[in-house]
Amino acid sequence: MTGAEERIATREAVYRGPNDPNNGVSLLQITSGNSPCTCIYSEISYGDASGRYFIYKKHASPLCPELPESYWRFDFEKNENVFVASPGEVFGCTVTPDQKNFVYTAWDGDGRAAVHYINIADLSEEIKYIEAGRSLGLGCANAATEDGRYVVSHAKPSPGRRCLCVMDTATGKYELAGDYGTDFCNPHIVLDPSGSGDVLFQVNRNATFYPDGTPDKLFLPEGPRHDIYNIYSKKFRSTHAGYPYTCALGGHSSWLGRTGGYVTNGFVVDLEELAKGGIISAMGFFPDMERREKSPDIISNYYPAHLEMTKKTGSLFVLDRLEDTPSVYGQGFYCGHPNASRDGKYFVADVLGEHLLVIGSFAAGKIEILTRAGGSMGGAMVTQPVPWFMPGNRRVIFTSDDSGIPQVCAAGIPQSLLDGLDGK
């Protein structure tokens, strides 16, 4: 399928009425049915620059075996969902910093890496190829430059080696950078939208794994740190977030628009002390798989003291410049997955243990409840709200499994709420 006129269209959006008469927020449920749908992830916005369209993911499900995993686009003007692609084996997706193209990488029939650029507005598509075989072991993280030339992923090219992979679509070649071993198992690669070429990623120091290769403890003993790789200078450096500069990081991050700074979430207690009690592991605060499966609420069931301490001191670290000492935001809430608005003025985050979304102003330091997210916040990513701003700051997109099946929702933000955060 190459043209918008050939693509499947459905109408599923359901207006759910005013969510909170005190703040004027309204909710729109974008998807429905038995296939789990998610807003993908909180580190970037998957909306186009006009604020009219956005991309979301429909996951494969045993309840709908006839429907493969696929990407769809929602149109706010028409209240319409349009099928975008069902690419099969995907190795990461992203949106270019100008919010113009949705980009995903998959293997083509000849075993090459095919980078698909889909214009979010008109759904036209361009495919560029990289001479890379499956042995490269491309991972699920992706970032793409605005000019469409470079795509950054992570790779496992040989046993024990995990590194960045910078793919040059102009030459069809790729370069591998670094060697982080198993510490590079959950990198969350995010490209600075300012055009600097900086790629922010997470290093899970001393990560451990279950026998099947599934990550177990990602946060011990020092916790994650953030490193930067510049795709133009080809140099690495570290930021001042995470041990020994701050308390341990949770690792979820978002650039502050084009300002050159970023926001990430963190822990306020010593993770080594928690580890002595067998509290921490990768998918949440659980000592083993059995306990993890029994507990949908990953924080409040197992460490209420930790929750309360973090709420009091703040759980978001903000670096206005990468060499700065972080400032702390988010007091009163345990923020899990933060996203910064495209202009760098506001943040939104889901709240661990309370099933809420919060919104705040970096300049004023204010934070307020945006809406009840309804996400159960279990170990599986599809149960986590992972919110992000649409360009223009008038909507936040998030995932909610309130109905028992994850669905994509939009929270409409009145200007009065943003004015209140700014102190107007």
Cα 416 to the center of its chain, rounded Å: 27
pLDDT in tens, 123-136: 999 999 999 888 88
Q: Report the chain's terminal Cα–Cα distance, integer Å.
A: 48
pTM: 0.89
Task: Classify strands 249-255 and 236-238 as parallel, antiparallel or unpaired.
Answer: unpaired
Assess whether the previous peptide bond of 244 is cis (omega < 30° from 0).
yes
- Angstrom distance (rounded) from CA 37 to CA 90: 16
Residues 179-231: tens digit of each pLDDT: 998 888 889 999 999 999 999 999 988 777 777 766 666 665 577 889 999 99
Res. 169: pLDDT tops 80: yes
CA distance 384 to 352: 9
What does the pLDDT read at residue 327? 87
**DSSP annotation string for 365-395:** --EEEEEE------SSGGGS---EEPTTSSE
Strand 53-58 to strand 327-329: parallel, antiparallel, or no bridges (unpaired)? unpaired
The predicted pLDDT at position 367 comes to 93
Model confidence at 372, pLDDT cuts 50, 70, 90, reads: confident
- What the chain holds in terms of domains, given with CATH numbers, is 33-345 (2.120.10)
Please say whether the beta carbons of 381 and 38 come within 8 A.
yes
Instruction: Name which of 211-225, 286-300, 307-321, 389-403 the model is least confident about.
Output: 286-300
For residues 360 and 66, what is the distance between their CA atoms, to the nearest angstrom? 42
Which DSSP category does 279 fall into? -
Task: Give the separation between CA 398 and CA 412, rounded to whole angstroms.
Answer: 11
- Whose CA is closest to 385, among 341, 317, 338, 315? 338
